Amino acid sequence: MKYRWWILIAIVLFGIGIAFGLAAPASIVSLLSDELAALEELGEVLAPFTLSTVIFIFLKNAVALLLSFALSPIFCLVPILALAVNGWLVALVSTIVMEEKSLGFVLAGLLPHGIIELPAFFMGEAAALSFGAMAIILVLKKESRTVLVSTVKKDVGHALLALALFFIVGIFHTIIIVALLQKQTRDILMLNLNQNLKYLSIALALFLPAAVIETYVTPLLIT
């Protein structure tokens, strides 16, 4: 599947999260409102924002994206959840802020850095979905299933450990073994990885100006 389709899928998942956020019951919105008040107090403690704030925001986004990419072979669950949950949170927070402030306040808080951060977020998560899907497809191929069955039989300890750790160890173990034992599989996976690493690098690069804007521009617009 071409990369642009993964971008579309990422946007759709984010949109689904927004829809669930807008449909959230009042009890959840009220609970989150209390949490936002605590975050506002924390923001006042951290102000005035400095270069360390930029670095913190950038690293937070970068680490989350890198983890999403690295764990994507686990049925693409992490990137799917990252997209849906972030959309859900944006909708919930926007609803609360609009009730307390105004739509203009929400737009002033989200648009400046969101214009850069959201495209970067979609690009990075689309790369994670693409790589994770390719890894899963390769593992589920007939030849790969044979290696998988053989591996599980020979390595019961790893299988049990994988079960205890939600199959994380076992799945990565399987992917690595399949990639090493089959040259064709390794070549396909590495080609996909190289392509998606380029998009991931662009996304990470865009997070830096987004963090600068969020640190220095957004506070000016909402005060």
Q: What is the pLDDT of residues 20-50, one digit of tens each?
A: 988 876 556 565 655 555 555 545 544 555 6
Q: What is the reported pLDDT for 163? A: 43
CB-based contact 122:11 (threshold 8 Å): yes
165 within domain boundaries: no
In total, how many domains does the chain have? 1
By residue range, what is the domain housing residue 69?
3-133+199-222
**Helices 51-70 and 103-140, axial angle in degrees (round to 10):** 30
The predicted pLDDT at position 115 comes to 85
Residue 141 lies in a domain: no
Within a domain: 192:
no
| Any domain includes 173 | no
User: 76 and 132 in contact (C-beta within 8 Å)?
Assistant: yes
**Per residue in 105-160, pLDDT tens?**
777 777 777 788 899 999 999 999 999 888 888 777 755 555 545 554 554 454 44
Is residue 183 in some structural domain?
no
| The token pair that represents 12 in the structure block | 């759709």
In a domain, 143, yes or no: no
* Pick from 122, 170, 119, 127: nearest CA to 148: 170
* In-domain check, residue 151: no
Q: How far apart are CA 205 and CA 208, in angstroms?
A: 6
Q: What pTM was computed for the model?
A: 0.73
Decide if 65 is inside a domain: yes
DSSP 27-66: HHHHHHHHHHHHHHHHHHHHPSP-HHHHHHHHHHHHHHHH
Residue type, 165: L
